Chains A and B, each alone.
Chain A
Amino acid sequence: MTRHHPDSLTLMEYSAGNLSEPHALCIRLHLDKCPHCRSRVDTLDSLGAVMMEEQPKVSVSESIFDNILSRIDSEPATEPDRPAAPRMGPLQKLLGEDLNGLPWKRQLGDVSVLDISEKFPGQGEQVVLQKLAAGGKAPAHTHRGNETTIVLQGAFADQNGVFNQWDFVVLNEQDEHKPVAVGCEDCITLSVLSAPVKLTGAFTRLLNPFIR
């Protein structure tokens, strides 16, 4: 059971469809495992529906409906969109089945990193996987800008508590912490850092949230 959740404002931006792809991925991974937040997003989606309904009406020409009918008639009989095979999650599509076997780059001590920003072209954000070896410690550090993190495997602890698999956390420059990987697995996290434009190029060190 996850204990650390996205706040309502972030969920609203998700529901409205305004988050970047990597941020949406973090939320989606959390939602898949958190019925509580899933239900909050359902309510926010309903808010979206009501907002859409409240707007001024514009007319749509009837010929559009004819186009739609010819589109659906030209398609094979309504086969459900549901894929036959078990649906592969976004994480597997992006990273394959084995998180531990990725080409990790060893950094200081117990920390390894992998920059996967290029998997999200055009998003202007740095997306980084980090691995803290089981039982390992990261040096104390703060964060530059807002950093959104979701735990993909294992757990880490800092002065704010224990962050388990699928927990969601946002850290910024005020949050100095010294995370420790707890449990018997390596702790793997996915972090998204919105790089302020003026600082682009300065972000050559990839050590968040464990090190910065």
Chain B
Amino acid sequence: MTTLDRKPAKAEGRKDPWSQLLDKVGKHQDREAYHALFEHFGPQIKYYAMANGLASHAEELVQEVFVSIWRRSCLYDWRKAAASTWIFTIARNQRIDMLRKMQRSSAEMLVETEDLWQIPGDNEDEPVTSLHRLMSERRIRESLSHLPEEQITVIAKVYMENKSHQMVADELDIPLGTVKSRVRLALNKLKVILQDQNV
């Protein structure tokens, strides 16, 4: 495999370029597309591992995530999740899986990581709501640029460093209530909170 710097083709319809590439991997076992995904997402996954304390296993995590992407790509449905969202959930699950395996023998694992943390689109009964899903990533990227730094910092610690709200509060030396209100403000602006109560 050459290190060709392959730019994804222009988006067809609402399918973003990375989702097109992932689709090709799933449908045709397209290795060029797979390599392009590796070049784009590999560094992100490596950073993710480093940020959450798996620095000495960072490239191992990249490998596990990509092997998993290959195996599961035939299940990928771009209408159910953008490629980046799908790959994020695989990276999250592989990280959890790696930590679980370090902490105990597999005989003790009654439930698999995927029984607890779902990959979007795995549930076949799930309705296809493509427009909402694909819009949301674009919308989040756009809204994120308008958020105050203090809110982004908190969200980054939760997602990248895998700290609980309590741990973020301890680290930043601010009350837990402040952390929660920053998250709520951010989620409000990102329109993640649609209706929290009595829906």
Contacts and interface: CB of A to CB of B under 8 A. Distances in A.
The reply to whether chain A is a binding partner of chain B is: yes
Contacts of A39: 129, 132
A28 B116 contact: yes
A16 B158 contact: yes
A122 B95 contact: no
Contact of A43 (B45, B84, B110, B192): B192
Interface in A11-40: 12-18, 21, 24-25, 28, 31-32, 35-36, 38-40
A94 B63 CA distance: 30
A169 B34 CA distance: 43
B59 to A, nearest CB: 5
B63 A42 contact: no
Nearest to B89: A45
Nearest to A54: B144
A60 B85 contact: no
Pick the most buried of A3, A36, A52, A66: most chain B CB atoms within 10 A of its CB. A52
Interface in B27-75: 29, 31, 35, 38, 42-48, 50-51, 59, 62-63, 66-67, 70-75
Interface size class of B (residues with CB under 8 A): 35 or more
Given A8-B184, A45-B85, A121-B108, A57 B43 contact: yes
Contacts of B106: none
B115 A89 contact: yes
Classify the interface of chain B: helix, strand, loop or mixed: helix
Contact of B133 (A42, A75, A80): A42
B46 A60 contact: yes
Contacts of A53: 44, 84, 141
B159 A46 contact: no
Interface in B103-131: 103-104, 108, 110-111, 115-118, 120, 123, 126-127, 129
B65 to A, nearest CB: 9
Given A31-B118, A64-B59, A81 B43 contact: no
B183 to A, nearest CB: 6
B162 A18 contact: yes
Contact of B115 (A28, A68, A80): A28
Nearest to A28: B116
A48 interface: yes
Contact of A46 (B75, B116, B133, B164): B133
A90 interface: yes
A36 B3 contact: no
Contact of B164 (A18, A54, A93): A18
Contacts of A81: 71-72, 75
A42 B81 contact: yes
25 contacts: A7-B196, A14-B117, A28-B118, A42-B85, A42-B133, A45-B88, A46-B133, A46-B136, A48-B88, A48-B89, A51-B155, A53-B44, A55-B48, A56-B47, A66-B1, A68-B38, A68-B63, A68-B70, A78-B29, A80-B72, A80-B74, A82-B75, A90-B111, A122-B103, A122-B104
Given A12-B192, A18-B158, 19 more contacts: A4-B198, A18-B164, A21-B116, A28-B117, A31-B118, A36-B199, A40-B194, A42-B85, A43-B191, A43-B192, A45-B120, A46-B85, A46-B136, A48-B85, A50-B84, A52-B84, A64-B59, A119-B110, A121-B104
Shortest Cβ-Cβ A-B pairs, 6 listed: A90-B115, A49-B88, A49-B84, A60-B42, A24-B116, A17-B92
Interface of B: 1, 3, 29, 31, 35, 38, 42-48, 50-51, 59, 62-63, 66-67, 70-75, 81-82, 84-85, 87-89, 91-93, 95-96, 103-104, 108, 110-111, 115-118, 120, 123, 126-127, 129, 132-133, 136-137, 140-141, 144, 155-156, 158-160, 162-165, 180, 183-184, 187, 190-194, 196, 198-199
